Amino acid sequence: MAMETEESASIDAAKADAVLATMRAAGDADDSSRITYLEQLEGGWSRHSYAARVTHPDRATAANETGEEAYIVRVRPQGSLLDTDLGEEFRVFELLVPEPLPTPAPRGFEPSEETPFTGPFFVMDRLSGHAVNVWRRRDRVELEQDWAGARGIANDLAAHLAGIHAIGGERAATAATPRTFQRTIDRWEGVYQQMRLVRDPVVEEAYAWLREREPDPVAPCLVHGDYRIGNCLIDGGRISGILDWELCSVGDPRFDLGYMALEYHAGKFTTPGSRLLNSSAERDWFHTRYSELSGRPTDPEVVRTFTALGALMLFAIMTTGINVYASGATTDIRMAWGRFVLPGLRQDLAALMGW
């Protein structure tokens, strides 16, 4: 989940020292650098994020006398919701540095499990902007007003997805893990089977239905894996950041198109959300615009297949949170909230299968 607010706390010296040591090892800080601010941000399911400010006297200017710069520390804590590779996420951020995409530059990685953050972490630049929450009415209104007006956010959402998919499979594989259609199904069905508290006949039928609908292959490329407006930052009516790459892979670009088409990502929860894709654009317009920018055609039936796969992935993730909470492994009540998401996903799967 993208970060929004900060909680007041004093600076933890051990954590501050660890951040500076990691940045120095990467050549992004020196002995004169000092941490002036370090606080954990609210949110985060399988990652914790901290906001940091560091002074760099050697970078001082008339406008910035201390050379202070803002960073985010991204942590994979012990007992995180998903067992994903933080090092792979860091390497993807490194891969993206030369790309014309609004992603933060990485500033050092500490792979050890034994850190003051209780897990490995990396440091990256903090980008300007705010995260939107499509389950909050006022945020949906902000996005819908952009669609009715300048369409800066809508255009960026399509253009940046095309830019991500322009990174070919061979280059992307230097940072991210290749995953075929069937391997992706295996992954999330395995999580579901391991974490479910009861069997779900709709979900199990959907996995069987999906295995029979493997699309004709296309050239693999970088896939974000969780591409949606909620994982972007907005600043001045434009997308200023693309965050949360922990589910990225090398695979079929149509997964991102299908996943972002879920009604859940347009604000559906216990009540319907926006009629717009991601609360941001008309679906047909978005697919046409993406195709124009990427040179990749979009087939509604193939998108439907990947929307079902995205729904099953989300179902497995939510089921994991419910299991973790029910077992007493966490007291984070947000994990239990996933039970309110499951009926809507089950409803969507039934519709996607034509029931």
pLDDT per residue as tens, the chain (355 positions)? 343 333 445 899 999 999 999 999 999 999 999 999 999 998 767 789 999 999 999 999 999 999 999 999 999 987 677 889 999 999 999 999 999 999 999 999 999 999 999 999 999 999 999 999 999 999 999 999 999 999 999 999 999 999 999 999 999 999 999 999 999 999 999 999 999 999 999 999 999 999 999 999 999 999 999 999 999 999 999 999 999 999 999 999 999 999 999 999 999 998 899 999 999 999 999 999 999 999 999 999 999 999 999 999 999 999 999 999 999 988 888 888 889 999 999 999 999 999 9
Using CA atoms, how far residue 327 sits from 190, 318, 320, in Å, is 19, 14, 11
Q: What pLDDT score does 113 carry?
A: 94
Q: Structure pTM?
A: 0.94
Pairing, β 232-235 against β 238-242: antiparallel
Q: Does domain 13-126 have CATH number 3.30.200.20?
A: yes
If residue 53 lies in a helix (H) or strand (E), which one and from where to where?
strand 48-55
Tokens of 168: 């070919």
Q: What pLDDT score does 77 carry?
A: 85
Q: Where are the domains of the chain?
A: 13-126, 131-352
Whether 13-126 and 131-352 share one fold: the answer is no
In CATH, what number does 131-352 get? Answer: 3.90.1200.10
The amino acid occupying position 46 is S
Which one, of 37, 66, 39, 61, lies nearest residue 50 by Cα? 39
Q: Who's near 221: CB < 8 A, 6+ residues apart?
A: 164, 165, 166, 167, 168, 169, 172, 250, 251, 253
Give the C-alpha separation, 16 to 350, whole Å.
49
Helices (H), 212-355: 254-260, 283-294, 300-326, 333-337, 342-352
Q: What pLDDT score does 9 carry?
A: 54
Q: Who's near 42: CB < 8 A, 6+ residues apart?
A: 3, 4, 5, 6, 7
Which one, of 28, 20, 119, lies nearest residue 77 by Cα? 119
Q: What pLDDT score does 331 carry?
A: 84
Helices (H), 57-110: 86-96
Q: Who's near 354: CB < 8 A, 6+ residues apart?
A: none
